[in-house]
Structure 1
Amino acid sequence: MDNIDRGIIDLLRQNARAGYGDIGQVVGLSASAVKRRVDRLVADGVIRGFTVQVDPAIDGRRTEAYVELFCRGTVAPDELRQMMSHVPEVVEACTVSGSADAMVHIRARSIPALEDALERVRVAPNVDHTRSSIVLSRLIDRPID
C-alpha cells in the first residue's frame, strides 16, 4: 500500500459514495486506475466493506448505555461474542482490562427497550452481574477511521 492508496482510502472514509473520477482528480489518477486500486484494496482485505451510518437519533435509537459485564469464572472472548451477538441492541462489545470482563455499548429506542436488552445480557450464560451507565449527552462523537 502506497501514499496514493492511503489518499484513496482517506477520501472514501470522507465519502464512500465518491466517484472514481472525483477521487482520481484529487490523487492524480484516472477513474479506471482508481477503480483498479479500489478493487485491489477490497480483494486484499484492506477495505472490508462499504456501509451507511445512520444517525441513531433519526433511527430512533436515542437511548444508550455502557455496561460493564462481570462473568463467573473464565470466559473466552469468542464465548462473550457469541453471547452478545444474540442481543441486536448491542452495538459494540469488547474485552477490557480491570475488574470487568467486558464492556458493552447498547443502543435502544426507549428506557423500557434498554431495560429489556440489558436483561437479555444479564441472563446470558456465565454472566454474574453488570454495572450500567446511561448516556445523558454526547460531548464528543468523532467518526471512527
Structure 2
Amino acid sequence: MDTIDRKLLAFLRKDGRASLSALAAELNVSRGTVQNRIERLTRDGVIAGFTVRVTAADDPHAVRAVMMIEITGQKTLSAIKALRGIPEIRALHTTNGAWDLIAEIQTDNLVEFERVLRGIRAMDGVSKSETSLLLTTL
C-alpha cells in the first residue's frame, strides 16, 4: 500500500458511499485509478466489505462492546483475516500489553451479540478474551 491507497481508505472510512469521481478529485487521480485501486484492495482483502454505520443516538437499542483478544502462537494473521470478515466487528486494533487485539463490536440485540462472541471465542488461535459492554457514549 502506498500513500494514495492510505488516503483512499481514509476517505472511504469517512464516506463509504463517496462516488469514484469525488474520490478521484480528492486524491487528484483519475476515476479509473480509484476504481482499480478499490478493486485491488478488495481482492487483496484490505477492504473486507462496505457497510452502513449509524450513530449510537440513531440506534439506541444496539448492543456495543469492546473485546480484548489474546492470540496463540503464529496465528495472528489468520485470526485478523477471519475477524475482519465478521460484519459486526466495526473496528479491529492491534495493541500492546496483555492483549493482542481489540475488536469493537456492534449488534442489533443480545442474541446476535452472543452468537458473535461464541464465534470469535471458537476461532482457531483465539486463546482468551475479555468483553466489556459499552453503555453510554459521552
The question of a shared fold, defined as TM-score above 0.5 by the shorter chain, is answered with: yes
What is the number of equivalent residue pairs in this alignment? 111
| In structure 2, C-alpha distance between the alignment counterparts of 1:88 and 1:125, rounded to whole Å | 18
Structure 1 unaligned regions, length at least 5: 1-9, 21-33, 140-145
1:84-106 CA distance string (max 9 Å, x none): 13422111112111110100111
Tell me the alpha carbon deviations over residues 57-86 of structure 1, each in whole angstroms, 9 at most, x when there is no partner: 54687111100001222333x312222134
Query: Which whole-Å CA distance do the structure 2 matches of 1:106 and 1:65 have between them?
Result: 5
Report the counterpart of residue 65 of structure 1 in structure 2.
65
2:101 matched residue in structure 1: 102
In 2, the alpha carbon distance for the partners of 1:35 and 1:71 equals 36
**Residues 89 and 60 from structure 1, CA distance in 2 versus in 1: closer, same or farther, beyond 3 angstroms?**
farther
| Counterpart contact for 1:69–1:103, Cα < 8 Å | yes
> Counterpart of 1:94 in 2: which secondary structure?
strand
Please give the residue correspondences for 1:47-126 in structure 2 after superposition, counting only pairs within 5 Å.
53-57=52-56, 58=58, 62-76=62-76, 78-126=77-125
> What is the rounded CA distance, in whole Å, between the counterparts of 2:80 and 2:113 in structure 1?
19
Q: Which runs of 4+ in 1 moved over 3 A?
A: 34-39, 41-45, 51-54, 56-61
CA distance in 2, matches of 1:118, 1:110: 12
Equivalents in 1 of 2:97, 2:133: separation in Å?
A: 20
Aligned partners of 1:37, 1:55: CA distance in 2, in Å?
26
Return the index of the structure with the highest Cα Rg. 1
**Cα-Cα RMSD:** 3.8
Aligned pairs (5 A) from 1:14-33: none
Q: Which runs of 5+ in 2 are unaligned?
A: 1-10, 39-49
**Identical amino acids, percent of aligned pairs:** 16
Assess, with a 3 A threshold, how the Cα gap between structure 1 residues 106 and 61 changes in structure 2: closer, same or farther. farther
Residue 35 to residue 108, structure 1, CA distance change in 2 (3 Å) = closer
1:22-46 CA distance string (max 9 Å, x none): xxxxxxxxxxxx998445176379x
Q: Structure 2 counterpart of 1:40, which letter?
A: V
Residue of structure 2 aligned with 1:40, choices 6, 18, 29: 29
**Where does residue 137 of structure 2 map in the other structure?**
138
Distance 1:54 1:36, change over 3 A: closer
